[in-house]
Amino acid sequence: MKEYAFRLHRGDDLLGEIKNYAKKNHIEAAVILSAVGCVSNARIRDASGVRIREIKEDMEIVSITGTVSEKRTHLHISLSKNDLTTIGGHLKEGTIVNTTAEVVLLGLMEIKFEEEFDPETGYNELKIN
């Protein structure tokens, strides 16, 4: 296993920068070990698989979980709003860091994450090699 840690700054696209980091570091398979910080704007897809919700509000990152690789990244996020209610779903690009985000990845050295189309779901799904 290999550890990776990096910090994002105000204005960074949370998902975009995680993907960029994976590509830059040639990460073939990793999981989010920890992610904390805050966002000023969130774009989250709900469980319908279609609707994307945009929330323009300062929110704390409660958790991010999922798989990361230079070929495919699939993340879910939970965010705490100002009234302390929590929302979550599939993280989309356009979720913007407010002040900071600290991300720690755990690289899985004997595995490669790729994607392939699954006719049953109609999506490109995780392929584990």
3 state SS of 14: helix
Stretch 78-100: mean pLDDT: 97
Sign of CA dihedral 20, 102, 33, 51: negative
pTM score, two decimals? 0.93
Local confidence band at 83 (pLDDT 50, 70, 90 cut-offs): very high
- Is the pLDDT assigned to residue 46 strictly greater than 90? yes
Q: How many domains does the chain have?
A: 1
* Average pLDDT value for residue range 26-47: 97
pLDDT band at residue 128, thresholds of 50, 70 and 90?
A: very high
> The domain spanning residue 89 has which CATH number?
3.30.1330.80
- Give the three-class secondary structure for 24: helix
- Domain hosting residue 93, numbered range: 2-128
**For residue 17, pLDDT beyond 90:** yes
